[in-house]
Every structure is written in C-alpha cells, then in structure tokens.
Amino acid sequence: MSAKRIFDPVHHFIELGAAEVRLLDTPVLQRLRRLRQLGLAYLAFPAAEHSRFSHGLGALAAGERVLGALRAQDSGYFAGESDYQQQRKLLRASLLLHDVGHGPFSHACEAVLGVRHEVRTRAILERADMREALAALEVEFDEVVALITGDEPTRYPVLKELVSGPNLDADRMDYLLRDAYFTGVTSGRYDAEQLIISFRVFERDGKPVLGIDGRGIVALESFVLARYMMFATVYFHHTTRMFERVLQAALREIWPDPRALDATDEFLSWDDFRVLDAFRLAPGPAARALRERKTLYGVAAEFNAERDLLVFEECLEALRARYGEALWADSQEQLLHRLPLGLDDASPTVLVGTRVGVVDARNASDLIARLAGKAYWRKLFVAKDEVSVAEARELCRAIIREPAHTLSG
C-alpha cells in the first residue's frame, strides 16, 4: 500500500512509498519546485511554468511503467521477484534524483558557472541527509550515481539506459509529454502507451540492452518525430534562445566570481526565485532587459535542421562584414547527439526486434533513417540598438533567394 498518492496531469496518479516520501521531503528535492523545467521558455510559451520537481515525479512514473512492461514479458531479464524489486527501488530513486545537480535556469547557469550538473549530483548526494534517505530506500549510493551520471560502470546497464541513456530514457519520455502539455505544442506528443508495452531487453555482445519489439515501430517513429518537433518548436525557439543569451550576461552580472558557488551548500541556496529577485535590484542592462522582457536582439535569419551550411555561412559572412560585433550567431548542434537517433554508424541507437532478428531502428524504419544523422540548427541575430533588423533580414533574403543555392531541411 502506498504512503502517498500524487495526481499529475500527464501520468495521473503517481504512488510513492514511505521512504520515497521522506526522500521527496528533503530540502534538496523540494528545491526542484523552484527550478523551471524549461528555463526561460515561458517568455515565449506563457504556460511553460512547470518545475523539475514535477518532471522528476513524471520520470519516475514513466520508468515504473517501462519496468513493469519488461516484467510482464517474462523474458528472463529479472532473476526473480527480489531482483525485480531491487531494480525497481533503484530505478525509482535514481529518476527522482536525476535533476538535483541543476542550477537556476539549468543550462544557462551551467554555462556561466562552468560545472556540469552531473558533477554537482555526486557532491549533493554525498550530503548526510541524502545518504540517510538513500539508505532508508535500501539502494546503493554508487549505483544511484552511476545511473544518473552515466559515466561510471554499473551492474544494471538496462536501468542506466532508462535513467541516462541516449535515446529511450524515462527522463526524455516524460519531458517530451510534459513540455508539450504545458507549451500547448500538440506535435510534441507521441504514442506513449504503445511505446511502453513494446519495450524489450535484447542481448548484444553478451550484455542486456534496452530495445523495442517490432510491433512498436510506429510508436517509436512518433517518439522520434515528437523529439524533432519539440526541438524545432520549443527548445530552439528564437525568443527562448535570445533571452538565454541575455540571461547568461545577467548571471555574470550577479555572479562576478563563479567560483563563489562551488561549495555545495552555497550552490543549493540558489534557485530561479532567488536569481529573479537578484535581477530586480541589479543595475546592469541584461538584468533590466529580463525584468522588462526587452528584446535586445532581432532575428536576421534562421536555418533549422539544415544538412548543408553553405547558405548559412554566406549569410554569416555578409552580416559580419557589415555589422561586426553587433552580430550574434547562435549554434545548437552540440545537442544533436540526441536528435533524433545516432549521428553515425558508431553512435548509440535503438534496437528493434523483427522477424529476421534484432536490427538498428534505422534499418527497421525508413522515416527514422531519413531523420537520423547530423543536422545543424543556426540562427543569426543582430543587436537591435545598433542595427536595422529589417535591413539585416533583407541582406540574408537576397542571399537565400539566389538560384545557385539549394536549401536542405
């Protein structure tokens, strides 16, 4: 019998045991209520106010359903009931905790402070209250850290894929549905029910690997498309990207010495609310722009999911020659190792069980094969107080219209 039942608009009722409730009540977990899941996306999508706290619960719910689906298949992956229960406790704890290393406004903060959130995670979990909470859950500290960071060896490679894997992790399964729900982007939804019941454990090089049954290939396609659509519509939205650049400048105004936040307790004392309060009093232009939602940059041209950078580079050089430092070129390719699947033949992908054996998802689906591979997301911005945005746009349009160019994407 559960100790607490929490209602969630995405997964509905989420049940927690007594030890999980105590973990949830720790200051480290409660702080996640004050960290927005989508950072500054609410400036473009006003309802995107959901937190990393609700996302952690959602990731737990998604992971629980996947593990239950694997158990229902009776594939021999679990050594017995006690093995299943132990993996279940470990998975649930890891998913609840997977975001504790994030700072205010997440990735913008990380870029300013220069410390990856995975590194913060270990330090935070080493706190006495967190070790006590994990001990009460009867899970091993090192195993939780290994699953969350993805950098250390683990006895449970399937759970590692579910917590921090490159493609089919419960983290991504929840945030796509949650972000789509709160932004209102319906194209970001996917067939979660079909995908979950299609999960299977295969063997590759003598090790268990997470994959899906061939009957779930259409659900996997919907998942891949949802990821693509959310990147295109929300995560790389020009307003969000522009304000994140301003946010980084504002964070440098209030944190002139990033090393001052190296201590774990000091880092944990900061959340979105404290940062915004600091901006309220900060005299710098970046903090003022965020307070007043003043757009400091205008979009001159966007190049979304391009396979060929020729036209982008010509526009970049033309704008740079005319406007110099008033130009800002935004690049997001570093995120594409997770979009949509593998960049090359050596990259991790999803395995699919078919009548002819277990194959790469790109061989099981023509749609996935077409979407897979490296694409480039670029935006060219100009400073509005120095440059005519209309003039910059016309300069780019003239280059794009030239018949010698063929745009891809």
Q: What angle do CA 64, 66, 68 make, to 5 degrees?
A: 70
**Distance between CA atoms of residues 375 and 332, nearest Å:** 10
Which parts of 165-208 fold into alpha helices (H)?
170-183, 192-197
CB-CB contact of 354 with 360 (8 Å) = no
Backbone angles phi, psi at 150, to 5 degrees: 70, 5
pTM: predicted TM-score of the whole model, two decimal places:
0.93
Q: Tell me the domain boundaries of the chain.
A: 4-184
**Distance between CA atoms of residues 151 and 211, nearest Å:** 21
CB-CB contact of 266 with 350 (8 Å) = no
**Is 328 strand, coil or helix?**
strand
CB-CB contact of 124 with 268 (8 Å) = yes
In the beta sheet, which residues pair with residue 376? 306
Closest CA to 375 of 328, 317, 329, 334: 334
- What tokens were used for 186? 């319906």
CB-CB contact of 352 with 361 (8 Å) = yes
Kindly give the confidence (pLDDT) of every residue in the chain, 409 residues in length, as a single tens digit, with 9 standing for 90 and above: 579 999 999 999 999 999 999 999 999 999 999 999 999 999 999 999 999 999 999 999 999 999 999 999 877 899 999 999 999 999 999 999 999 999 999 888 999 999 988 889 999 999 999 999 999 999 999 999 999 998 888 999 999 999 998 889 999 999 999 999 999 999 999 999 999 999 999 998 889 999 999 999 999 999 999 998 998 899 999 999 999 999 999 999 999 999 999 999 999 999 999 999 999 999 999 999 999 999 999 999 999 877 788 999 999 999 999 999 999 999 875 444 344 455 555 666 799 999 999 999 989 999 988 887 777 789 999 999 999 999 999 999 999 987 544 433 3
Closest CA to 332 of 258, 242, 407: 242
CATH T-level topology, domain 4-184: Hypothetical protein af1432 (1.10.3210)
| pLDDT value of position 345 | 57
Which contacts of 106-109 are long-range, i.e. CB under 8 A and separated by 24 or more positions? Answer: 106/35, 106/36, 106/39, 106/52, 107/39, 107/244, 108/39, 108/40, 108/244, 108/247, 108/248, 108/251, 109/251
